[in-house]
Structure 1
Amino acid sequence: MDKKTHFFYAVKLPSDTKSHVHRKLLPLQKDFRFQKWVHPEDYHITLAFLGNAETGMLEKSVHYVSDALKEEVSFPLSLEGLDTFGKKESPRIFWLRLVEQTRLYEIRNKVFQACEQAGFTLEKRPFHPHVTVARKWKGEAPFAHQLLHQKNPFDGNAISFEGEEIVLYQTHLDKEPKYEVVHSFKL
């Protein structure tokens, strides 16, 4: 197994939502000077990052996640804003904020606990649901945070969609798009 391969569980965005988001983000690339913009097919909401994983543990996680989600149904989600992670003047991640949705947290907790039950040691940072759209600020001037509000294409025009599929992704750093669906759970 490739040492650079990682696995994670995520909410898969519907194809039409990915396309809609991408169209809204294209005009922002001139104002938000990031080194790498995420391929639209790679848009997702991470629920549990597993890292490099043994096949047996992955299979256990699939079994436990499947069991945890067997009674779950799809739920509404909406993308509403722009934000960053990292240094204020030089952010490393540019992302889309979701409207607060209790069901997303419930689903995330079920997936997270199922992965721990399978033997994974997961990061305990608070869950901040988001869709990463770009990485590594490369602008010559410091990042202008006021642009997050001024240039927000989702302000008053949130993109709503159904969270109807949880997937186990495998990362391929040498490809684009770089995430491959290994297993899928329809809600």
Structure 2
Amino acid sequence: MTNRLFITLDIPEDTLDEIIKTRDELYQYDRVRWEGRDKLHITLKFLGDTDYKLIPPLENMLYKVSNEFLEQKLSFNKFGIFYRNKEPKIFWLGLDENNNLIKLQKHIDEECRKLGFEKERRQFHAHLT
């Protein structure tokens, strides 16, 4: 069996409050249902459909990696909307470049490669969706 997996960063609750408040003030579309606060995240690695057998090694790897990187302060610098069929669907926030976040993403990507996942081909652009 498989599960569709992402490796993401959690966002502090007070930051989520501000994001939701700002988003709702800026984008008041009656026909748009935005994602709930529990789904807002910063993706570090998309794993895709992943065999359940790989979950324990992934958890172990992430535990080790998370201990190597201290909590970081991230700053958002821009925002926008991704559209689908000319309708606004996904609110996004761009982040200021952060070398430690880039190192974390690259480290996770490399460790995932060792577990059999493909290396990320695209350059990492940190954003919240």
Same fold (TM over 0.5): yes
Structure 1 stretches (4+) deviating beyond 3 angstroms? 32-36, 83-87, 89-94
Structure-2 change in CA distance of 1:20 and 1:86 (3 Å): closer
TM-score using structure 2 length: 0.82
Unpaired stretches in structure 2, ≥5 consecutive residues: none
User: Contact 1:11/1:44 (CA < 8 Å) preserved in 2?
Assistant: yes
Task: Supply the distance in 2 between the matched residues of 1:33 and 1:124 (Cα, whole angstroms).
Answer: 38
Q: CA RMSD in A?
A: 2.4
For 1:59, the aligned partner's letter is: P
Indicate the residue corresponding to 2:126 in structure 1: 129
Structure-2 change in CA distance of 1:95 and 1:48 (3 Å): same
| 1:99-178 to 2 correspondences below 5 Å | 99-132=96-129
Residue 68 of structure 1: how far off its partner (Å)? 2.8
Residue 36 of structure 1: how far off its partner (Å)? 3.9
Indicate the residue corresponding to 2:7 in structure 1: 9
Residue 37 of structure 1: how far off its partner (Å)? 1.2
Where 1:26 maps in the other structure, the secondary structure is helix
Where 1:53 maps in the other structure, the secondary structure is strand
Structure-2 change in CA distance of 1:33 and 1:82 (3 Å): farther
Correspondent of 1:26 among 19, 24, 27: 24
Residue 127 of structure 1: how far off its partner (Å)? 0.9
Indicate the residue corresponding to 1:96 in structure 2: 93
TM-score using structure 1 length: 0.59
Structure-2 change in CA distance of 1:8 and 1:113 (3 Å): same
> Alignment identity in percent?
27
Task: Supply the distance in 2 between the matched residues of 1:121 and 1:34 (Cα, whole angstroms).
Answer: 38
Correspondent of 2:71 among 71, 74, 88: 74
RCO higher in structure (CA 8 A, sep ≥6): 1
Task: Supply the distance in 2 between the matched residues of 1:34 and 1:43 (Cα, whole angstroms).
Answer: 20
More strand by share: 1
Residue 66 of structure 1: how far off its partner (Å)? 2.3
For 1:25, the aligned partner's letter is: R
Task: Supply the distance in 2 between the matched residues of 1:85 and 1:24 (Cα, whole angstroms).
Answer: 17
Number of residue pairs aligned between Structure 1 and Structure 2: 128
1:40 aligns with 2:30: no
Unpaired stretches in structure 1, ≥5 consecutive residues: 133-187
Task: Supply the distance in 2 between the matched residues of 1:29 and 1:86 (Cα, whole angstroms).
Answer: 13
Task: Supply the distance in 2 between the matched residues of 1:7 and 1:78 (Cα, whole angstroms).
Answer: 26
Which deviations, in whole Å up to 9, do the C-alpha atoms of 1:87-106 show, x marking residues without a partner? Answer: 9x777643101111111101
